[in-house]
Every structure is written in structure tokens, then in C-alpha cells.
Amino acid sequence: MAKIRVAYEYSEAEDKSIRLGLFLIICGIVSLFILGFCWLSPALQDLQGKTANCTVLSVQQIGEMFECTFTCGSACKGTSLYPCLQIYVNNSESNSRALLHQDEQQLISNPKCSYIPPCERENQKNSENVLYWQEFWNKDVGYQTFTCYFNQHRRPEDVLLRRTHDENVLLHCFLWPLVTLIVGVLIVVLTICAKTMAVKAEAIQKRKFS
């Protein structure tokens, strides 16, 4: 009776292990699909942009103001204004004039300006923030060469100071789902191997006593 109970508990533990392994395998496959669809596609598009050397041609405020949204609490929001700063650079790859942007997110948010400051409640603080950035590019950067990124096919008249996505995104897209998938496969394989060895051991034991 005790042997039957132990065998039943062992069989139940095996079933749980196999179910866990299959669950991890399914999670790994689904994660690969979701992350590949949500992250991999935009990351690859971003990484297709070429690296170039840029030098500043002009830094100026154009006198146009844009709205931004600030928060002052959980239920407090409002809008304020910031001036539009345009930084034009020379793109060494195409040898053409291009508008510099912080990253692709900023380019999408405001394609006309080079910088969107952290939104403050007072317009004056926003203006001071933009002015500080303007002076930084005029005095600290000046005519020094720096690395920029551009996509000749998507937006040839714009360049980015940094990429939104990099190789780390591709790594995480594959690494963690792949680890989950491998762990699931190992659990299933080891459980099946253990079950097979137990059956063989039981058969050998029966032969000895027969």
C-alpha cells in the first residue's frame, strides 16, 4: 500500500513538472512573438539609420512658441509654452544641411524643433531651459564634430543625437524568452528521462526477484 502511494505521488510530481515545463515553453514562444512584434520591428528600423559625423551650422530660436503639458500633482495638469530652438548641422554622409533632434521620440513629438525642455509651470523657466541648451551648443560644442544618426530613406532632412533603440533592445528581445524556452525544454526532457530511468530500474528489480 505504501509503495502504491509513493508511486502515485511520484507520478503526480512528474505530471506537475511536465506541465510546468510546457507552460514555460509556451510562455517563451509567446514572449518571442510579442517582443519581436512590439520591440524588434521598431528597433531594427531605428538601427538601420547610419552613423555620421555632424558639425553645427547654426543655433537659433525662431520666435515660435509651442505648448507642453506639466503636472503639479495627481489631479493637477496644465499647459505652458516653450520657445522653439533649431539646431542645423552638416551631415558628413550626405554633405547636406539637416535639423538635429534629441531622439526619435522628440522628432515625432515636435519635428520642427531640436529640443523639448522638461515642461515647467512657468513659461519663463521653460525659456531659460531652452536658452541654456542654446548656449551649450553655441559655446561648448561650437564647431566640434560629434556623432549623429540619420536615415536617408525615412527622414533625410533630420538627424538624431542618439538612437531610441540600440543593440541592448535586440538582446533583451531574444535573451529572456529564449532562457524561458530552454528552461521549459530542460524540465520536460529531464522529467521524461527520470521517468524512463525509473521504469527501467523497476523492470530490472522485478527481473531480479522473479
In terms of pTM, does the model score above 0.85? no
pLDDT digits (tens, 9 = 90+) for 147-202: 888 877 667 788 988 876 555 666 666 777 788 888 888 888 888 887 788 777 77
Q: Is there a single domain that holds both residue 117 and residue 174?
A: no
Number of domains in the chain: 2
Q: Is there a single domain that holds both residue 84 and residue 24?
A: no
Q: Is there a single domain that holds both residue 37 and residue 82?
A: no
Identify the bridge partners of residue 146 per DSSP, sorted by sequence position. Answer: 54
pLDDT digits (tens, 9 = 90+) for 82-113: 999 999 999 887 788 999 999 888 888 899 99
Cα–Cα dist 58/77, whole Å = 35
pLDDT digits (tens, 9 = 90+) for 2-36: 444 444 455 666 777 778 878 888 887 787 777 66
Q: Is there a single domain that holds both residue 174 and residue 156?
A: no
Which of 128, 143, 162 finishes a domain?
A: 162
Residue 135 has what pLDDT?
Answer: 92
Which of 162, 182, 200 finishes a domain?
A: 162
On the CB side of 19, CA atoms within 13 Å amount to: 6
Q: Is there a single domain that holds both residue 88 and residue 119?
A: yes
Which of 162, 177, 192 finishes a domain?
A: 162
> Is residue 1's pLDDT more than 60?
no
Average pLDDT, the chain: 79
Closest C-alpha among 16, 3, 4, 5 to residue 194? 16
Q: Is there a single domain that holds both residue 112 and residue 175?
A: no
For residue 73, what pLDDT band results from cuts at 50, 70 and 90? confident
Q: Is there a single domain that holds both residue 128 and residue 199?
A: no
Residue 59 has what pLDDT?
Answer: 93
More confident of the two residues 50 and 88: 88
Cα–Cα dist 130/114, whole Å = 10
Report helix, strand or coil for 154. Answer: coil
* Cα torsion 21, 23, 29, 34: sign: negative
More confident of the two residues 80 and 19: 80
Q: Is there a single domain that holds both residue 65 and residue 124?
A: yes
Residue 96 has what pLDDT?
Answer: 84
Residue 191 has what pLDDT?
Answer: 83
Domain enclosing residue 192, as ranges = 2-46+169-209
Residue 61 has what pLDDT?
Answer: 93
Residue 2 has what pLDDT?
Answer: 44
Q: Is there a single domain that holds both residue 64 and residue 128?
A: yes
